[in-house]
Structure 1
Amino acid sequence: MEMMVSKSIAAVDDDNRVILKRCTITDLQLGGYINASFVTTSESVSRFIATQGPLSHTSEDFWEMIIQYHYPVIVMLTRLVDNYR
C-alpha cells in the first residue's frame, strides 16, 4: 500500500482503474498499479484514460500504459511542474 501512495498524487477508483499487464516485480506485487482510470461517456463509444502526469519514478509505468492501450491522444490537465514534482 505504501508503494501505491508513492506512485499517486490523487486516489484512483478500483472499479475502473487501468492495470498494467507487463510490469516490474514491484508492480506485480501491487497488481500492475498505475494511478490511472478508464473514462467512458454515454455519448461516445470511445474510452479515455485519465491519469496524473508521470513522476520521476513512474515515467516508465506511464509509457508502458500508453504502449499497452494504444491511445493516440494524451491530454494533460495539470501544470507541467506542480509543487516541484
Structure 2
Amino acid sequence: MVQDSPPDLRPASLEEIEASLSHGLRYDGRRKVHTADEMMARITAERLVAYLQSCGYVILRRAGSPAPSTSTHRHPHTDAG
C-alpha cells in the first residue's frame, strides 16, 4: 500500500535544500572535501535548487530533523565514551 506522505514529513524550504546540497558538496561526513570551495558549492546548490523548483520537484523532510552542521565540536548529547 502506498501512502501519499507519512505524517512526520513536511515540504523542505528552499533554504534547507540549498544548505543541504551545499553541505554535501563541501563535506564527506564530517571531513571537509578540498575539491570544492565554499563559494562554488553555494552557487552550485542555488542553481540546483532553482532548476529542481522550475521542474516542479517537491522534496520532503522529516519533521524535527537537524540541519547539517559543519561544527567540529562534539555534540552535547553524544556519549564521550
**Common topology (TM > 0.5):** no
Q: Which has the higher helix share?
A: 2
Q: Which has the higher strand share?
A: 1
Normalised by the length of structure 2, the TM-score is 0.29
Q: Which has the higher contact order (CA 8 A, sep 6+)?
A: 2
Q: Bigger radius of gyration, 1 or 2?
A: 2
Normalised by the length of structure 1, the TM-score is 0.28
